[in-house]
Amino acid sequence: MIQTTEGHVSLHPDTSVDLRNSGLKDESIARCGLESVRPEMLKKLGAKYRAVLHAMEFIYWNPDGTPKPYSRLKLFWPADAGNGDGKRPRYYQPPGTPPALYLPPLLDWSAVANNPERLLTITEGEKKAIAGCQAGLACAAVGGVWNWRKRLDGGERIALPEFECFAWRGRTVELVPDSDGWREGKELDILAGFYALALHLTERGAVCRFVKLPEASE
C-alpha cells in the first residue's frame, strides 16, 4: 500500500462526486476502503506530479477479502495543468511494482473462483468493477488492458497469480473493454490486450465473449 491508514483523510468533495457519478453507493465506497490521501503524501510522488490537486487510493484485495500490500492512486489534476510533458496520467502506482487483479470486497470471491458455473466479468478500471458487483455481477478489473500480466526478472511476461485461484474449464467469461476501444484506430491500444486475455483464458478452458459498452453519444 502506498501509505498507512493514518495517511488518509475523508473523501475530497470532488472525489465524492466522481464516485457517485460512477454509480457507486456509500456502502460500497466504505466497504472497498475508498479514501482520499493527505496532501503531504502527494509530495512524495515527485516533481512530475506536483500539480496534482488530490488523490484517492484503491486498495486491492485477496479472494478471501483481506487487503493486498498493493494499491493504486487515482489522481485529480487542475483543468489547465500537465506534468511537464503535456501528459496527465490518471493513475499512479509505485515504480517497479507489478499489477494485480482488482476484486472488489463486495462478494465472496473464493466461492466465485471455485465455481466454474458462475459467470465472471472482467472490465478495465476499479470503479466499473465495483459498480458491476453492486449490480449483482461477479465483476473483476484490470488496471490497464495489458495489466493482466506481470513481467518476470528475465523479461518474460506471465499471467497474474490471481488467475491461478480460479477454476476456468467451462466458465463463461465476459470481457468488457472501455467503450472507446471500439473506435476506429483504437483497436491496438485497447482491444488487443483484451483479445490476448481472451486467448489466454480460452487456453485454460474458459468460454469468452466480448461486451460492447455504448458510448455516451450513442
Quote the longest CA-to-CA distance of the chain.
49
Convert the pLDDT of each residue in 53-103 to its tens digit.
999 999 999 999 999 988 999 999 998 655 444 578 999 988 888 999 999
Average pLDDT, integer, range 111-115: 97
* Domain limits for position 145: 109-210
123 and 174 fall within a common domain = yes
215, part of any domain: no
126 closest CA partner among 101, 93, 162, 99? 101
The residue written with cell numbers 488496471 in the block is 143
**Overall number of domains in the chain:** 2
Dihedral of alpha carbons 57, 20, 11, 33, sign: negative
pLDDT band at 5 (very low <50, low <70, confident <90, very high): very low
Provide the β-strand partners of residue 71: 59
The mean predicted confidence, pLDDT, of the chain is: 88
- Indicate whether 87 and 120 sit together in one domain: no
- Asked if the structure places residue 97 within a domain, the reply is no
What is the rounded distance in angstroms from the CA atom of residue 137 to the CA atom of residue 132?
5
Res. 40 pLDDT band, cuts 50 70 90: confident
130 to each of 23, 102, 162, how far by Cα in Å?
Answer: 9, 9, 18
151 and 69 inside one domain: no
Q: Sorting pLDDT into bands at 50, 70 and 90, what band is 217?
A: very low
Residue 119 in any domain: the answer is yes
Q: pLDDT of 161-187, one tens digit each? A: 999 999 999 999 999 988 777 777 666
> Which residues are CB-contacts of 65 (< 8 A; sequence separation ≥ 6)?
105, 108, 109
pLDDT value for 165: 94
85 and 124 both lie in a single domain: no
